A and B are shown apart, each in its own frame.
Chain A
């Protein structure tokens, strides 16, 4: 039995401890937003946050997340209450087929948490583990940089108010 926190709630599973987190989330907890693309940590479609950091969960056994915090795309935002990155994704019509986008957004969110003002090169580096076969890279990058700029603007307003 392995216990961890999933999108803020404590959960337990008796799946085999070697089972990759992705399949426990999808098949046992029935959250389907995180996708399977390669099974080898090469494409990033399965990206979730473990204690706030982007992780490729198709190769991460659940034994490694015992007692830790796991956040999936469902925990980041909902259609009714979207994360700023998701709002910008919609505004720029970033997705094409959309299959990789949960992973893209989770990688982008982890980046902005740790580095709210990344350079274009830092965005490239942080996103290099996420493949988009439709080739939405131009818009993904624009969306991340736009949110970064907006957040800085909000922070500046907050500072003025303070």
Chain B
């Protein structure tokens, strides 16, 4: 999810944050939400007893420190990162903490979003000061309690790794929790100077590494509760098509099958074991209604986009200076169109959830990017009030934006209600590829001019495609506002759709297409063309395709003007000094590289999620096969809270982006996606994976995003190298040589 919220929101929340009451030994724990709503119960396990100074921490008399992590772990290392922030100021090593995923409460909202969501590479940035402040406040209370209990002055106390230290003697924090609970917590205890950091900026193993290396980390697929039944759903291959008819008898007769029922998305088969449900579901041959999408092929989409590109002006976004005059003044002008296809996220864990409804209450387990939405959907589709729905977030087996859309929770809830059984619902890989929610396809036309001084004179960009925001609202409003009626939801979503088709540009659709370069004359137009393919955020969102067009046209223009493409970028990013510096650092590395014969270097850079990244791809082409040997990645993400995690995110984003660069493609045939599993929707494998060197630029500024920004530069960097190797400008993803 993209967001432009500034750090102002952090400062605000810091002051208004956490007027909570701490209680030892269970009992009511009251948290006052940031929004000033009525106090509500914190979803904290009170059986462990202990000091609960706020929504995030629980310290027990035996000195266990539990951190209720407000953000969701999809592999990006957020549990390690956020534990590091709170641990730094609390003086507890992050690896010593017991980290739990927080339940639903406004205190756990993402300060950059105002709701409990994880995405947009926002977590470290949004929580950087907030969680450090919480840690500092809690440490301060513990120090005060220790001073009182030990009869020493506060100034004589230091702290380290969960201990109070007085005159060389160590006392565990746990010893003082009873007294601490009686004291008032300061709201703005002083925080450390950066120079005093002991954990921030240091490398240690991810706190989930042991669980994830021994098969003991719990994902939603692993949840197992008494009397749990397994559900498999058969859905229409064409999105939005309703069930026309189905003969349930053959499936119903299969061993272990208890129920075959119709739900809103299709037909659900319920059995005692997963394989029984899966086998029985294969006996169903439902027929489906025709919808408008049923007549759409990939060629329809491409033709419609091409026509719209030619005939429609669309809505104007960025509009600065006079582009026509800028183009007229240019010495060289280039124009080209770029294409990016629909893509599925394909997290390795397919969508899954467990829902149990009993005695007017409900439990739901799933790994999602918004635990509040999961609670809201169970409430909406079971009729149980949200406060009686306990939402348990688990580790996510990958997400990349996919686990922000929670139709699997709707399905599991509908099945649990209809069958009166605890339900474990699991999608197959085929369901994931064919029935998903996708990165939109895009056609982009770029035109740019450069003057004799090597400076851009004009920048013109136009994108044709579908918009993410209306579909996202369609899924999120029912989740976060379970009490809102369907007609109100339809009205809001319809309004949003109209707004982004005719009045203003959906920022997610064009983000990154014009911002990085200094051209004095810029115009961005957008034409919305929808084909009812469900769309959502996909790692780096709009940047995932705009970077390909934006960096591609710069490469083409530099070539035409006979200017070194890296030098060209340096000359035209003066107004973005941090990006400019990243390009300069990468240039210095590139100048030292001596690729072997037959290998070529391609360069690209991009700013996204407030982070600047430049990548150099070392590429060879043999028998029309593109091989990427090495990628050098220079990143400025502010302070790298854990440099190992930052490097891992860059390495991973390069691989994720390379899958899209070299393989990722989905074909529509009569409204259905043709691809179904990893044989025809291939994912990069180890033998194709390049070596990746990550260079983190030293920085003293607050952290910015790392989960997504490593992705946008890779496709244009590889395309640039392929041009050097073959002379072919490849302007369609995935890259395929003629």
- Chain A interface residues (CB < 8 Å from chain B): 15-16, 19-20, 23, 26-28, 30, 32-40, 42-43, 45, 72-74, 77-79, 82, 86, 89-91, 93-102, 105, 123-125, 127-128, 130-141
Complex formed: what's the CA distance from A131 to B678 in Å? 9
CB closest chain-A residue, reference B684? A135
Residue B407 CB within 8 A of the other chain: no
- On chain A, the residues within 8 Å of B222 by CB distance are 32
Q: Given that A77-B214, A95-B208, A99-B219 are known contacts, is A134 also in contact with B686, CB under 8 Å in the complex?
A: no
Q: Given that A98-B208, A98-B211 are known contacts, is A135 also in contact with B652, CB under 8 Å in the complex?
A: yes
Residue B224 CB within 8 A of the other chain: yes
Query: A97–B348 contact, CB under 8 A?
Result: yes
Query: A140–B686 contact, CB under 8 A?
Result: yes
Query: B398–A134 contact, CB under 8 A?
Result: yes
Query: A131–B397 contact, CB under 8 A?
Result: no
Most chain A beta-carbon neighbours within 10 Å: one of B76, B212, B397, B645: B212
Complex formed: what's the CA distance from A159 to B35 in Å? 68
- Chain B interface residues (CB < 8 Å from chain A): 73-77, 205-206, 208-219, 221-222, 224, 230, 255, 273-275, 346-350, 395-400, 426, 428-430, 644-645, 648, 651-656, 658, 677-679, 683-687, 689, 691-692
Complex formed: what's the CA distance from A38 to B429 in Å? 5
- On chain A, the residues within 8 Å of B679 by CB distance are 40, 42
Complex formed: what's the CA distance from A93 to B647 in Å? 11
- On chain A, the residues within 8 Å of B652 by CB distance are 96, 134-136
**A-B residue pairs, 5 tightest by C-beta:** A33-B215, A135-B655, A98-B212, A99-B397, A97-B75
CB of A90, distance to nearest CB on chain B (Å): 4
CB of B530, distance to nearest CB on chain A (Å): 28
CB of A94, distance to nearest CB on chain B (Å): 7
- On chain A, the residues within 8 Å of B215 by CB distance are 32-34, 72-74, 101-102
- On chain A, the residues within 8 Å of B210 by CB distance are 79, 82, 86, 90
Q: Given that A99-B349, A136-B648 are known contacts, is A23 also in contact with B274, CB under 8 Å in the complex?
A: yes
Most chain A beta-carbon neighbours within 10 Å: one of B216, B348, B429, B651: B348
Sample 17 A-B pairs with CB under 8 A, ordered by A number.
Answer: A15-B273, A27-B274, A35-B221, A35-B348, A38-B429, A39-B677, A43-B683, A86-B213, A86-B214, A89-B213, A93-B645, A96-B648, A99-B219, A100-B397, A137-B655, A138-B691, A138-B692
Q: Given that A19-B275, A73-B214 are known contacts, is A45 also in contact with B686, CB under 8 Å in the complex?
A: no
CB of A46, distance to nearest CB on chain B (Å): 11
- On chain B, the residues within 8 Å of A15 by CB distance are 273, 275
Query: B211–A79 contact, CB under 8 A?
Result: yes
CB of A49, distance to nearest CB on chain B (Å): 13
Query: B348–A90 contact, CB under 8 A?
Result: no
CB closest chain-A residue, reference B204? A93
Having A38-B677, A97-B73, one finds 10 other A-B pairs with CB under 8 Å, namely A16-B255, A43-B683, A77-B214, A86-B210, A97-B396, A98-B75, A98-B211, A98-B212, A98-B395, A141-B689
Complex formed: what's the CA distance from A150 to B658 in Å? 32
CB closest chain-B residue, reference A91? B205
Complex formed: what's the CA distance from A42 to B678 in Å? 6
CB closest chain-B residue, reference A142? B691
Query: B689–A90 contact, CB under 8 A?
Result: no
Point out the residue from A74, A82, A128 that lies within 8 Å of B686, measured CB to CB.
A128
Point out the residue from A30, A40, A100, A128 that lies within 8 Å of B429, measured CB to CB.
A40
- On chain A, the residues within 8 Å of B651 by CB distance are 135-136, 138-139
Q: Given that A27-B273, A73-B215 are known contacts, is A89 also in contact with B209, CB under 8 Å in the complex?
A: yes
Query: A134–B216 contact, CB under 8 A?
Result: no
CB of B470, distance to nearest CB on chain A (Å): 28
Query: B686–A43 contact, CB under 8 A?
Result: no
Query: B678–A43 contact, CB under 8 A?
Result: yes
CB closest chain-B residue, reference A78? B214
Complex formed: what's the CA distance from A102 to B221 in Å? 14
CB closest chain-A residue, reference B228? A27
CB closest chain-A residue, reference B685? A128
CB of A118, distance to nearest CB on chain B (Å): 12
CB of A141, distance to nearest CB on chain B (Å): 6
Q: Given that A40-B678, A137-B689 are known contacts, is A82 also in contact with B213, CB under 8 Å in the complex?
A: yes
CB of B93, distance to nearest CB on chain A (Å): 16
Point out the residue from A30, A74, A94, A97 that lies within 8 Å of B213, measured CB to CB.
A94
CB of A139, distance to nearest CB on chain B (Å): 7
CB of A31, distance to nearest CB on chain B (Å): 8
Point out the residue from B348, B428, B689 that lies within 8 Å of A39, measured CB to CB.
B428
Complex formed: what's the CA distance from A86 to B399 in Å? 24
Complex formed: what's the CA distance from A53 to B489 in Å? 54
Query: B686–A37 contact, CB under 8 A?
Result: no
- On chain A, the residues within 8 Å of B77 by CB distance are 96
- On chain A, the residues within 8 Å of B678 by CB distance are 38, 40, 42-43, 131
CB of A112, distance to nearest CB on chain B (Å): 15
CB of B16, distance to nearest CB on chain A (Å): 34
Query: A133–B275 contact, CB under 8 A?
Result: no
Query: A98–B685 contact, CB under 8 A?
Result: no
Query: A90–B209 contact, CB under 8 A?
Result: yes
Complex formed: what's the CA distance from A38 to B685 in Å? 15
Most chain A beta-carbon neighbours within 10 Å: one of B219, B275, B350, B651: B275
CB closest chain-B residue, reference A37? B348
CB of A19, distance to nearest CB on chain B (Å): 5
Query: B206–A93 contact, CB under 8 A?
Result: yes
CB closest chain-A residue, reference B651? A138
Query: A131–B348 contact, CB under 8 A?
Result: yes
Complex formed: what's the CA distance from A63 to B678 in Å? 26
CB of B259, distance to nearest CB on chain A (Å): 18
Query: B397–A98 contact, CB under 8 A?
Result: yes
Query: A95–B209 contact, CB under 8 A?
Result: yes
Complex formed: what's the CA distance from A89 to B211 in Å? 11
- On chain A, the residues within 8 Å of B398 by CB distance are 97, 99, 133-134
Query: B397–A35 contact, CB under 8 A?
Result: yes
Query: A43–B348 contact, CB under 8 A?
Result: yes
Complex formed: what's the CA distance from A137 to B654 in Å? 11
Query: B686–A101 contact, CB under 8 A?
Result: no
Query: A23–B648 contact, CB under 8 A?
Result: no
Query: B429–A123 contact, CB under 8 A?
Result: no
Q: Given that A23-B273, A134-B75, A136-B648 are known contacts, is A95 also in contact with B686, CB under 8 Å in the complex?
A: no
Complex formed: what's the CA distance from A102 to B213 in Å? 7
- On chain A, the residues within 8 Å of B350 by CB distance are 36-37
